[in-house]
Structure 1
Amino acid sequence: MKAIIPVAGAGTKLRPHTYTQPKALIPIAGKTILSFIVDQLRDAGIQEFIFIVGYLGEKIQDYVKENYPDLTTHFVFQNERQGTGHAIELTRNIVGNDEVFVALGDTICEYDVKEVVNSEYSMLGIKKVDDPRNFGVASVGEDGFIEQVVEKPAIPKSNMALVGLYKIKETHFLFECLHHLFAQDIRTFGEYNLTDALDCMIKRGAKFQAFKVKNWFDCGKKETLLESNATLLKKFGGNTEGNHCYKDTIIIPPVSIAPGCDISNAIIGPHVAIGANTSIKHSIVRDSIIGSYTTLYEVVLDNSLIGSDASVRGLSRSLNIGDNTEIDFG
């Protein structure tokens, strides 16, 4: 089985951070979004990964090669973003007839990965939501098999949203349906959508079983990213460098502090993730994500998302600033 991870999106809802950093490499709870996904699938036994890259794709390549040298990896460039269906079609020659597990590059979920990977059926991940109109929606029969999937329906027949996890056994069937979309120019909201290809497969007799995820962490915009960071820190307990000694500093767990940080005269936490080699002095930081090689001096930060190589000085409350930024409130 091969894993396909589409990470070509521009991440417009997380700007300014995604001007300089792919969304999949945004840090959360001490790891990147991408590493959560790859680690789950690798631990379930998948060793071959196809990354569909586009905007800032070289950074994805560099990150994967540096952090996962043991994996077999392929990188496919989606130069024109024409939808998830178009992205998956680009992997046809690499996939061949192998089964695939598709995990969208901004999807962190809790579920029994091994059970799904080893299932005898194709499977789609679902989660009950209050308003399914902004998601792909699955109609599930009493037998647990999916009867229909629709992308962002105006009048949903179900409140079961597709979470972006797809285990597909009949890949030849998948690529036939993708070809059908292109041949008939079937688009949803102007794009060739994977959901439409899956519905085509169902209509032609493919059987998909639904599996419910325990938790679905939204990493698509600042507010939900910070909420997901807090939840994951609570779940995994955070981490700090083993032999750290932060002078005159109070740590209120859970927090995650990467190696090489210089912290003094500060209060850190709860729910704070700090990247490597960051300096924080005479500051209070809570409910925030701070990038690597960043400097904070005499600031009070709450519910903030600060990029890498940034510098913030003076008093502040809530910020959302990207990489290579300098702010002086003095």
Structure 2
Amino acid sequence: MKAIIPVAGAGAKLRPLTYTQPKALIPIAGKTILSFIVDQLHDAGIDEFIFIVGYLGEKIQEYVKQTYPDLTCHFVQQSERQGTGHAVELTRSLVGSEEVFVVLGDTICDYDVKEVIDSPYSMLGVKKVDDPRSFGVAEIDSEGFIEHVVEKPAIPKSNMALVGLYKIKETEFLYECLHHLFEADIRSYGEYNLTDALDCMMKRGARFKAFKVKNWFDCGKKETLLESNATLLKKFGGYVHESVHSENSIIIPPVSIGAGTILKNTIVGPHVSIGANSHVQYSIVRDSIIGSYTNLHEVVIDHSLIGSDASVKGLSRSLNIGDNTEIDFG
């Protein structure tokens, strides 16, 4: 089985942070979003990955090659973002007839990966949501088989949202349906969507079973990214690297603090992730994600995203700041 991970999106809802960094490489609870996905799949036995890259794709390639030198990795360029269906179709020559597990590049979920992989059926991950109109939606029968999927329905017939996890056994069938979308120019909201290809497969006889994820950590926008960071820190307990230098400072767990970071006269936590080699002085930081090589001086920050190589001085409350930024509130 091969894993397909589309990571070509621009992450517009997380700008300005994503102007210089792919969304998949944003740190959360001590790891990147991408590492959460790859580690989960690799631990379950998958060792061949296809990454669909586009915006800042060279950073994805560099990160994967450095972090996972022993994995078999392929990189496919999606020059024009025309939807998830278009992205997956680009992998056809690399997949052939082998089973695939497609995981969207901003999807961190809590589920039994091995159980899904070993299932004799194609499987789609679902989660009950209050308002399914912003998601792909699955209509499921009494035996757990999916009868129909539709992308962002105006009047949903189900509240079971597709979470971005797709294990597909009949891959030749999948690529036939993707080709059909292009031939017939079938689009949802202006894009060739994977959901439409899956529905095509179901209409032609393919059987998909739903599996419910225990947790779905939304990393698509600032508010939900910070919530996911807090939840994952609570779940895994956080980690403070042994090289962190703390002088007259208080750390309130759970937090994740990277190697070489210096804390001086500072309170950090709870629910804070700080990258490597950052300096935080005379500050209070809580419920935030801070990048690497960032300097914070005399600030009070909560519910904030601050990129790498940034500098913030003075007093602030809630920020969303990209990389290579300098702000002085003095």
Q: TM-score range by the shorter chain?
A: over 0.9
- The whole-number CA distance in structure 2 between the counterparts of 1:186 and 1:221 is 28
**Alpha-carbon offset, residue 224 of structure 1:** 0.6
What aligned pairs does 1:19-34 form with structure 2 within 5 A after superposition?
19-34=19-34
Per-residue deviation, residues 258-315 of structure 1 (Å, max 9, x unmatched): 1010111100000000000000011110000000000001111011100000000111
TM-score normalised by structure 2 residue count: 0.99
Residue in 1 aligned with 2:154? 154
Q: Does the aligned pair in 1 maintain the 2:140–2:148 contact within 8 Å?
A: yes
Question: Counterpart of 2:239 in 1: which secondary structure?
Answer: coil
Residue in 1 aligned with 2:305? 305
Structure 1, unaligned stretches of length 5 or more? none
Question: What amino acid maps onto 2:210 in structure 1?
Answer: A
What aligned pairs does 1:31-42 form with structure 2 within 5 A after superposition?
31-42=31-42
What aligned pairs does 1:125-274 form with structure 2 within 5 A after superposition?
125-242=125-242, 244-274=244-274
Residue in 2 aligned with 1:92? 92
- The whole-number CA distance in structure 2 between the counterparts of 1:80 and 1:252 is 45
**Alpha-carbon offset, residue 243 of structure 1:** 5.1
Question: What amino acid maps onto 1:109 in structure 2?
Answer: C
- The whole-number CA distance in structure 1 between the counterparts of 2:143 and 2:118 is 19
Seq. identity, %: 80
**Alpha-carbon offset, residue 244 of structure 1:** 3.7
- The whole-number CA distance in structure 1 between the counterparts of 2:224 and 2:182 is 34
Per-residue deviation, residues 62-87 of structure 1 (Å, max 9, x unmatched): 00000000100000000000100000
**Alpha-carbon offset, residue 245 of structure 1:** 3.8
Per-residue deviation, residues 125-149 of structure 1 (Å, max 9, x unmatched): 0000000000000000011100000
Question: Counterpart of 2:266 in 1: which secondary structure?
Answer: strand
Per-residue deviation, residues 97-152 of structure 1 (Å, max 9, x unmatched): 10000000000000000000111110000000000000000000011100000000
Residue in 1 aligned with 2:73? 73
Question: What amino acid maps onto 1:107 in structure 2?
Answer: T
- The whole-number CA distance in structure 1 between the counterparts of 2:295 and 2:329 is 13
Q: CA RMSD in A?
A: 0.6
- The whole-number CA distance in structure 2 between the counterparts of 1:282 and 1:291 is 18
Residue in 2 aligned with 1:289? 289
Question: Counterpart of 1:6 in 2: which secondary structure?
Answer: strand
- The whole-number CA distance in structure 2 between the counterparts of 1:209 and 1:76 is 29
**Alpha-carbon offset, residue 241 of structure 1:** 1.1
TM-score normalised by structure 1 residue count: 0.99
- The whole-number CA distance in structure 1 between the counterparts of 2:86 and 2:204 is 20
Instruction: Kindly tell me the number of residue pairs found equivalent between the two proteins.
Output: 330
Question: Counterpart of 1:246 in 2: which secondary structure?
Answer: strand
Question: What amino acid maps onto 1:85 in structure 2?
Answer: G
